[in-house]
């Protein structure tokens, strides 16, 4: 019998795909403590399980099949550094639902007292979650979901108030509990990447919408065009990833 161990993989820029994750039973270590950052594997034997984040329709997470219901030290090597954490197996959702959606336009501030609705004009891989009317992220199935929104903000002028608040609502109601986040840019023409993460439970048919506010009317959600020398892709103004965790 094998067990599923689900490991989210993220940096300060959000969830990461294509990162190798390995699990080692703590019995293979001289201590049950989590190894320090940079520590090497305990011996030359293969890991008890290995997976790649984002594989098989699991954006932002690695699903490892471990041989026993035990405690495992988890190794993620990123940027040449070994990072360790500790986890025990959990049941992965029987059905995986996910969505990647983004917007390729620059979105401007409607005013110093405006709640600016974030629009999404493009969709990547998706299963069981869709975007309706360019803003309503709609869940076809009940469950608990992890939300990760990245927004690329810039202030093009005006004053010194660079604060931005980002939040989301459920079914058009009041903002979801603890979903407001404030970010501050460094000044005019400096960009900041706002990262909003949350876990929430939704019913089938529920939808959410994201909003932002800034007193500075020159604040924008900025998209960056594709370019050359070297070839670089378009960077969307907003990128949103959602997947179920239960």
pTM above 0.75, yes or no: no
Percent of the chain whose predicted confidence (pLDDT) is above 90: 55
Is the pLDDT score of 28 beyond 60? yes
Domain boundaries, the chain: 3-87, 98-244
Helix (H) or strand (E) run with residue 143 in it? strand 143-155
Same CATH fold assignment for domains 3-87 and 98-244: no
Domain 98-244: give its CATH code.
Answer: 2.60.120.40
What's residue 96's pLDDT?
A: 82
Is the pLDDT score of 68 beyond 70? yes
Cβ atoms of 212 and 129 within 8 Å: the answer is: no
Pairing relation of β-strands 143-155 and 20-25? Answer: unpaired
What's residue 93's pLDDT?
A: 63
In the CATH hierarchy, which top-level class contains the domain 3-87?
Answer: mainly beta
Instruction: Quickly list DSSP for 14-33.
Output: EE--S-EEEEEEGGGSSSSS
């Amino acid at each position: 019998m094998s067990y599923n161990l689900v490991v989210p993989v993220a940096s300060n820029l959000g969830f990461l795909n294509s990162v190798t994750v390995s699990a080692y039973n703590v019995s293979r270590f001289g201590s049950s403590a989590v190894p320090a950052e940079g520590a090497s594997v305990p011996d030359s034997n293969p890991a008890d399980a290995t997976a790649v984040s984002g594989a098989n329709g699991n954006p932002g997470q690695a699903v490892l099949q471990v041989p026993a219901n035990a405690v495992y030290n988890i190794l993620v090597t990123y940027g040449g550094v070994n990072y360790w954490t500790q986890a025990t197996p959990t049941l992965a959702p029987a059905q995986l639902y996910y969505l990647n959606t983004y917007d390729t336009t620059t979105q401007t501030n409607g005013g110093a007292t405006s709640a600016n609705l974030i629009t999404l004009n493009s969709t990547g891989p998706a299963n069981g979650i869709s975007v309706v009317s360019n803003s309503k992220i709609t869940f076809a199935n009940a469950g608990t979901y992890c939300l990760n929104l990245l927004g690329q903000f810039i202030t093009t002028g005006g004053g010194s108030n660079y604060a931005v608040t980002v939040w989301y609502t459920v079914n058009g109601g009041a903002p979801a509990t603890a979903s407001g986040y404030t970010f501050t840019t460094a000044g005019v023409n400096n960009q900041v990447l706002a990262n909003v993460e949350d876990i929430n439970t939704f019913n089938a048919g529920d939808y959410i919408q994201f909003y932002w506010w800034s007193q500075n009317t020159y604040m924008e959600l900025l998209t960056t065009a594709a370019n050359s020398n070297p070839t670089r892709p378009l960077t969307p103004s907003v990128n949103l990833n959602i997947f179920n965790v239960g």
